Amino acid sequence: MKDLQHNLLAVKSIDPIVGNNTTEGTGVGADLAGFDGALLLAHLGVSGDTLSGSVYVTVGFQESDALGSGYADIADADLIGGANNVVVDAAAEDEVIVQRGYIGSKRYVRVLITFTGTHTNGMPISAVVIKGFPRHAPAV
């Protein structure tokens, strides 16, 4: 077996919570300084509300040159594994992990879960960024 423990570093973007608004779904930026790759993961649980074309969540991935500001959607060309802004609008689509590999050039990345419509009962959410390809191992 190969050792991943010393070559990957997981950091939180969104703490586990039953979310019902975009403020709760706005992730903390992960600093990629010292790393040459990242995997962004959003975990959605079973929605407590009936999802539809007017009540849904969107999982997005953002990047910035600055930690606290300037975040914008990551271009699809800078994501591996699928397009950005995944819409979850049906019960058959929740309870999922949405993951994308990041190959862009910005220093900070984060996960953004946007709630559209009225989410009275909420949905369990969380997100992590796994930093990889450290320039100096072990990754700490």
Instruction: Domain ranges for the chain, please list them.
Output: 8-133
The string of pLDDT tens digits covering residues 60-119 is 999 999 988 899 999 999 999 999 999 999 999 999 999 999 999 999 999 999 999 999
Supply the pTM of this predicted model.
0.93
**Domain 8-133 is of which CATH architecture?**
Sandwich (2.60)
- For 54, the token pair is 């007017």
Q: Strand 86-88 vs strand 56-64: parallel, antiparallel, or unpaired?
A: antiparallel
27 touches 19 (CB < 8 A): no
Q: How confident is the model at residue 3 (pLDDT cuts 50, 70, 90)?
A: confident
